[in-house]
A and B are shown apart, each in its own frame.
Chain A
Amino acid sequence: MPVTVETPTEKWAGKVREITLGATAAEGGTRTSTVTVGGEGTMPFLHFEGETPHRPVVAIEIYDIAPQDWSPILMDYWGDVVNDVVAWAKKAVELGADAIALTLRGAHPEVNDRSPEDSARVVKDVLAAVGVPLIVYGPGAPDKDNEVLVAVAEATAGERLALGLCEQNNYRTIAAACMGSGHIAVARAPIDVNIQKQLNILISDMGLPLDRILMDPTTGALGYGLEYTYSVMERLRLAALQGDAMTQQPMICTAGHEAWRAKESKVGEGVPEAWGDWKERGIAWETVTATSLIEAGADILVMRHPEAVAIVKKTIDQLVAK
């Protein structure tokens, strides 16, 4: 006896907010291309249920100085360009970056202690060299982050950069800087749905419009807490779809940074044979970390190895195909 199955579609009350990174000349910036993410009205890629108007994008991460602590696999791949941030940025775009994620590591007091003004200049140089949108991270020392990002924000007003990180205990300065110069704030919470939402509320209470806040749920790499990030992202997306206006921000994940910190990708010697080939493993580690996050609802992936980027972009092609 034939059975007819009805498609089990969920009716959602809300959707993810759309956010555009980068501004073209017409919009008051200098980008030749911009990136729009968000807008999803379904759990990831269930096209029978709701729209996925924009594909997830990949940003390639570069540093303003040659990284000291990156895996040799990465350093080998990039070669000399790591010494020249402008060349590095251009190469990354050639290799398929939809956006550049620039970490101003050189400004860290323990590294080169580069001044806020000089750091802002680096950002301007990169802006001049590439046409894609920019995500700019501070050096990772709270006070200096604030100084540097304020300088960057002012020097690049109107470019609609994404600036990070706004965290629970340090969000006001960066959010205010974004507010004044038309940038987007990256709000990072420590793998916690509630804290993420609270942070979004606090930032939006300051007056930064919600279409200028990205959520960074904090990425756990494969084998290092990936499942927590995965579930937090699913919960955030579900809440967004259920109409919770304060969780409807698109999500950005630092898959590259985390995956390449894992022992599996960082270390080649003295590890079990069952781990297989080092280089391939590193790339697979980043790939699986990134694709899993895409399945959980990531909108922007910040990645490091171009071969992993290529596979991830292909995966995205497959997933957005109707």
Chain B
Amino acid sequence: MALTGLQIYKLLPKTNCKECGVPTCLAFAMKLATKSAELSACPYVTEEAKNELEAASAPPVRLVSIGADGRKIEVGNETVLYRHDKTFYHQPGLVVRVKDTQSADEIKAVADAVCGYCVERVGLSLNVDGVAIENASGDTSAFAKAIEVVGSNANVALVLMSSVPATLDTVMPMVADRRPLLYAADAGNWQAMAEVARKYKSPLAVKVDCGDLSALATLTEDITKAGVTDLMLDPGTRSMVDSLQAMTKIRRLALRKNFRPLGFPMISFPGEGASSPLEEVAAASQHIAKYGGVIVLDHFDPTLIYPLLTLRQNIYTDPQKPIQVKPDVYPIHEPDANSPLLITTNFSLTYFTVAGEVEASGVPAWLLIADSEGLSVLTAWAAGKFDAEKIKKAVQTSGILDKIAHKRLIIPGYVAGMSGEIEEELPGWEIRVGPREAVDLSSYLKSLRS
């Protein structure tokens, strides 16, 4: 169980010597509690305290990584069931499955597409993470060929799917340095599978039928004892509702009960329970939100992958960070060169309330959003993040100057005191003071018009 700041504080020297880089031992303890500091930063902790603290901080879900330098999937280390409780840390890997029964061209096409796919969103480029190659033919050489096709041209993470340990043992030398995920050990083959995984130091997926979690836990216990600890779980559920329940149970047991045998990330196959690509997308979006670790898709189509990547980005956004909107010019009701210009900060709630009220007023207007690092008007103003300089910068760099023919700027009523300074920063501009509360915007804007 995680310790609270005070519990940790009791174990520290309490001398407030500041050597750890923060002003007091309590401050340091609180950082440890939120895992934003390393215990080693304090040179004076006793051995006992060290042991106690380390035992308490072992992650309940093991961090497992697949792949090598090029593209790597790192999943696990999650600490909460609901993202609002803290955040989800390691987004699931999205991989696309090919089968060795497909032609080399087909396989290559998918691998190329996956490898080359990249889409930009809110300043980040989103990618697909890897390719799963299934030994559907049952034939080792066909499998090897498929791996070669994928492996030779694609710098992506790999999942090798075969239930025959010997087959995997044969192909592994081709790609062992890329640390592929081996799929999968089951009740029948686990000893030999564990052997292969250990030999090549690869992560290993463990699979059971239809959500039998006791069987799954038994297997992972055995395999861990055999020396393989980088495991991934496939509870074997395929319909949406079964997956949801099994995956929720696994995550809850790991987090709430600190149940080590199920403290691993999960692998899932949304396409296997779906009858159309769009249904696969629906299932995959469930796995993104509900605890998926590696999600193996059966279709690759930009139209379908883009929403999933977007969803993944959304769900794995840190909810503790202030919600921001992009600093920009937002036209409302098709404003023209003479429409009023309002400015406010980029705290999303501020933006939504202001934009909502302007919209409701029916008055066409330009809404200029300044970069206040996600703070609301008053907080930003207090911290110097919404001052005359920032406002000047927003006016001059946002492109609004090309859109309007007047020099009138409406500022939020709460910062009325700044109007003088803004006038100095923006010579020739008329600074008008809008209402303090967004609710009053509508009547304010209408009064401007009349």
A interacts with B? yes
A residues adjacent to B (C-beta < 8 A): 1-5, 7-8, 43-48, 108-110, 140-142, 169, 190-192, 222-223, 225-228, 230-231, 234-235, 238, 264, 272-277, 280-281, 283-285, 287-288, 291-292, 295-296, 311-312, 314-315, 318-322
Q: Tell me which residues across on chain A come within 8 A of B282, comparing CB atoms.
A: 287-288, 291, 311-312, 314-315
**21 interchain pairs, CB-CB under 8 A:** A1-B218, A5-B214, A5-B261, A45-B245, A110-B362, A190-B356, A192-B349, A223-B314, A227-B314, A228-B319, A274-B117, A284-B281, A287-B307, A288-B281, A288-B282, A291-B282, A295-B286, A295-B290, A311-B282, A314-B282, A319-B241
The reply to whether B319 and A231 form a contact with Cβ atoms under 8 Å apart is: yes
A228 to B118, CA, bound (A): 25
Q: A228-B323, A284-B304 are in contact. Are A234 and B360 (CB under 8 A)?
A: no
B35 contacts the other chain (CB 8 A): no
By beta carbon, the residue of chain A nearest B116 is A274
Do the beta carbons of A315 and B279 come within 8 Å of each other?
Answer: yes
Known: A319-B244, A321-B239. 4 other contacts (CB 8 A): A191-B352, A276-B301, A295-B289, A295-B290
Q: Which residues of B contact A226 (CB under 8 A)?
A: 311, 314
Say whether B310 faces chain A, with CB atoms less than 8 Å apart.
yes
Report B310-323 CB contacts with A as 1/0, cut-off 8 Å.
11011101010001
B248 in the interface (beta carbon within 8 A) = yes
Q: Cα distance A309–B90 when bound, in Å?
A: 32
Decide: B244 and A45 in contact? CB cutoff 8 A.
yes
* Per-residue contact bits, chain B 380-401, to A (CB 8 Å; 1 contact, 0 not): 0000000000000000000000
Closest to A318 in B: B240
A1–B314 CA distance with the chains assembled, in angstroms: 41
C-alpha spacing A17/B295, complex, angstroms = 35
Pair A292/B311 contact, Cβ less than 8 Å? yes
Given that A109-B362, A222-B311, A318-B241 are contacting pairs, would A5 and B301 also be in contact in the complex, using a CB cutoff of 8 Å? no
- Which chain A residues lie closer than 8 Å to B241 at the CB level? 45, 47, 318-322
B323 neighbours in A (Cβ, 8 Å): 225, 228
Q: Closest Cβ of chain B: how far from A92's Cβ, in Å?
A: 20
Given contacts A46-B244, A227-B315, A272-B120, contact A8 B218 (CB under 8 A): no
Q: Judging by beta carbons under 8 Å apart, are A280 and B248 in contact?
A: no
Most-contacted residue by chain A among B241, B304, B333, B359 (CB, 10 A)? B241
* Known A273-B302, A276-B306; contact A5-B253, beta-carbon cutoff 8 A: yes
In angstroms, Cα B273 to Cα A291, docked, is 16
Tell me if B84 counts as interface (CB < 8 A to partner A): yes
Contacts of A3 in B (CB 8 A): 214, 217-218, 221, 261
Question: A292 contacts which of B218, B289, B362 (Cβ < 8 Å)?
Answer: B289
B82 contacts A231, C-beta separation under 8 Å: yes
Closest A residue to B248 using CB positions: A46
Please give, as numbers and ranges, the residues of chain B lying within 8 Å of A272 by CB-CB distance: 119-120
Interfacial chain A residues near B222, Cβ < 8 Å: 1
Q: Is B149 an interface residue (CB 8 A)?
A: no
Q: Is the CB of A275 within 8 A of B253?
A: no
Q: A141 near B362 (CB under 8 angstroms)?
A: yes
**Judging by beta carbons under 8 Å apart, are B307 and A288 in contact?**
yes
Q: Which B residues from 217 to 250 make CB contacts under 8 A with A?
A: 217-218, 221-222, 239-241, 244-245, 248-249
A-B contact count (CB 8 A): 169
Contact B249 A7 (CB under 8 A): yes
**Assembled-state Cα–Cα distance A110/B240 (Å):** 45
Let me know if B360 and A235 touch, CB within 8 A.
no
Cα A149 to Cα B257 in complex, Å, equals 51
Chain A residues whose CB sits within 8 angstroms of the CB of B439 once the complex forms = 169
When distances are taken between beta carbons in the complex, the residues of chain A under 8 Å from B16 are: none
Tell me the residues in window 401-443 of chain B with beta carbons closer than 8 Å to chain A beta carbons.
Answer: 439, 442
**Does B201 touch A at the CB level, under 8 Å?**
no
Do B303 and A190 touch (CB < 8 A)? no
Q: Which residues of the other chain, A, contact B24 by a CB distance below 8 angstroms?
A: none
Question: For B279, what are the chain A residues with a Cβ–Cβ distance below 8 Å?
Answer: 311, 314-315
Q: How far is the CA of A190 from the CA of B323 in the complex (A)?
A: 13
Cβ–Cβ contact A2 & B348, under 8 A: no
**Closest CB of chain B to A225's CB: distance in Å?**
7
* Distance from B215 Cβ to chain A, minimum over Cβ atoms (Å): 8
With A48-B245, A319-B240 known to touch, is A277 a contact of B218 (CB < 8 Å)? Answer: no
The distance in angstroms between the C-alpha atoms of A44 and B248, with both chains bound, is 11
Q: Does B308 contact A (CB under 8 A)?
A: yes
- Interface flag for B152 (CB, 8 Å): no
* Pair B289/A230 contact, Cβ less than 8 Å: yes
Q: Which residue of B lies closest to A225 (CB)?
A: B348
Q: Does B285 contact A (CB under 8 A)?
A: yes
Alpha-carbon distance between A192 and B319 when the two chains are bound, in angstroms: 13
Among the listed B248, B276, B353, which residue makes an inter-chain contact with A190, where contact means beta carbons less than 8 Å apart?
Answer: B353
Residues of A within 8 A of B356 (CB): 190
Q: Across chains A and B, which 5 residue pairs bring their CB atoms closest together, nearest first?
A: A276-B303, A276-B302, A274-B119, A227-B314, A3-B217
**Contact A234/B119 with A8-B257, A192-B349, A281-B306 known, Cβ cut-off 8 Å:** no
Among residues of A, the one whose C-beta sits closest to the C-beta of B259 is A5
